[in-house]
Amino acid sequence: MTEVFITDDHPIVLDGLKNLIETSEDISPVGIFQNGKDTLSALKQKEPDVLLLDINLPDINGIELSKQIRDSYPELRIIILSVHNEKAVIRSVLQNGVNGYVLKNSIGDDILEAIRKVINGELYMCRQTRQIYESKDNSNGPDVIPKITRREKEILQLVTEGYTSAQIADKLFISPYTVETHRKNLMEKFEVNNMTAIIKYATEFKLL
């Protein structure tokens, strides 16, 4: 019997996933959680075979959580359940070593198939996820979520709040030239040519 933990902050989704898995004779839901903290606490007591993990959690960035769990529990199979169909999100969690990625609008059979595939050591992506992952279309932004520094994050937050480069320089006690350099670096990392696009992606990726 394959034992599964489910982590999602929506009770209706949790109930639906639990009921779906209980229809299967070879898979059993043995833990239901609504946040990252409770999931980590439970994993210290019992390690299941598979973790179904939503990356939109109230207490922790699910992308960071997937990496933390993978590092601490290398044998645990992790399947991401997400509404995010951005290539950067998909690629970022796959780089963290997760075993599967299923969009929440997928049918129930996809989730059961994902569990069975990852148990057998395969990487599973639902059809739509695979199409996005393999697409050469870069119109949806960067291929992976950029890693930004603490200072870049501070500047990006102030830009979001409407501060000019001169005002940011005064606020952070740095030169306007330094602010402009950070802005340029951010545009290069996000592969865009304006701060509005960066703010859009940073908000979607929960970097702010």
SS3 (DSSP) at 192: coil
CATH topology classification for 150-204: Arc Repressor Mutant, subunit A (1.10.10)
Question: Which residue ranges in the chain fall short of pLDDT 70?
Answer: 136-141
DSSP conformation class of 103: E
- Residue span(s) of the chain under CATH 3.40.50.2300 come to 2-134
Q: What type of residue sits at position 207?
A: L
157-192 pLDDT, tens digit per residue, is 999 999 999 999 999 999 999 999 999 999 888 888
Say if pTM beats, i.e. exceeds, 0.85: no
Alpha-carbon gap, residue 183 to 189, rounded angstroms: 10
CATH architecture of the region 2-134: 3-Layer(aba) Sandwich (3.40)
The Cα angle at residue 141 between residues 139 and 143, in degrees rounded to 5 = 110
